[in-house]
Amino acid sequence: MTDRVVEKVVVEADGGSRGNPGPAAYGAVLRDAATGAVIAEDARTLGVATNNVAEYSGLVAGLALAVAHAPGASVEVRMDSKLVVEQMSGRWKIKHPDMAALAAEARELAPAGTTYTWVPRARNSHADRLANEALDGKRSGVSIPGDHVEDEPESAIEEAESPSFGPGQPTTIVLVRHGVTPHTTGRRFSGGLGGDNPPLSEEGRAQAAEVAAWLTELKDSVDVVVASPVRRTRETADIVAAALGLAVEEEPAFAEMEFGEWDGLSFTEVAERDRERLDAWFADMAAAPPGGESFVTVQKRVLAGLARLLETHAGRTVVLVSHVTPIKTLVAHALDAPLETLFRMELAPAAVSVLAFYPDPRTGEQKGSMRFFNALAPGRRTLRDTGRW
């Protein structure tokens, strides 16, 4: 290292657990922002903890490195945890007591003007590697590279291939269908933002509250709540997110199919007015209602949204509040089932399904599995509700 005064540093931090909660560790890297040279590193195990606690612990460790090795320097923090970045930036509230305590510690260490930047997982590979090495017993504590050590340039970080946190660490997606609306109980076509966009009914809000209470069992594990921007899904997501102490991210890719001229009509009404097109819609996944979308079109945007979600929240747990067609599309994709399988699934309002996506070490592709499907919160009687789906 040189004796040059470092004016700005970059803190890279990561953390995770093998199981959530499970054996956990963090990794933190302090870099000279001007050269990309590594100034110091820290990696330690935490015992049993959640992913979120491990992420925050990595942040605290990285800021402590900045205080010890670059006093007076301005700081930019880069992490692949959107939760930590948004909470430390003041845009999301922190309700979990363990994370609140760690966030307070981080604020004490961070100099005025510290900025927080979300980066893709591939650009945080150094800190991720340190955390894995700590969990594997290969390192523990602070280390300072000597002059003979070749520092990893920042360009190498940007080009690095993204490892998963631990072998086969999955991204878990908890799929929640919205509660009922007047269109649901009236068995009417109800599409995305282009249609009537009805709100939840009182019954639908009660269903959302029931599923939110059920999902609080996962409060320490869930990193983010993502929702379709359609009114009924956003209202459901707001109720769920409030119970989990999280904010809601909107993702338009997970909006319901647009039904065009059929929106707001019952199946019987469409059959009476437009039987030929209705039959074509059932027979051909590329056929669309007049002014609406086909199943193939919806599949393309849903899978594009899935790819973004898996990149942004790799190895974490996401609650995704969506609609019948996008949820069935994701389930079919996870199982490598043909798109026509959508017609053979039933999905109740406010039902929960869980998918996991694992990185294939041979191909780098995400392979899906289904943990369960169409589960209802305790107290909901499945057979009584079958006529309401």
* Binding-site residue set for substrate: 232
Kindly report the number of other CB atoms within 10 A of residue 227's CB atom. 25
Q: From CA 357, how far away is CA 368, in angstroms rounded?
A: 4
Q: Distance between CA 328 and CA 321 in Å, rounded?
A: 13
Q: Does the annotation mark 256 as catalytic?
A: yes
Q: Which of 86, 235, 256, 293 is catalytic?
A: 256
Q: How far is CA 297 from CA 204, 257, 260, in A?
A: 28, 9, 14
Which amino acid is residue 145, in one-letter code? Answer: P
List residues forming the annotated binding site. Answer: 232
Angle, alpha carbons 248-254-260 (nearest 5°): 125
Residue 217, classified by CB atoms within 10 Å of its CB into exposed (0-12), middle (13-18) or buried (19+), is exposed
178 labelled catalytic = yes
Q: Which of 178, 183, 313, 333 is catalytic?
A: 178
Q: Give the residue numbers marked as catalytic.
A: 178, 256
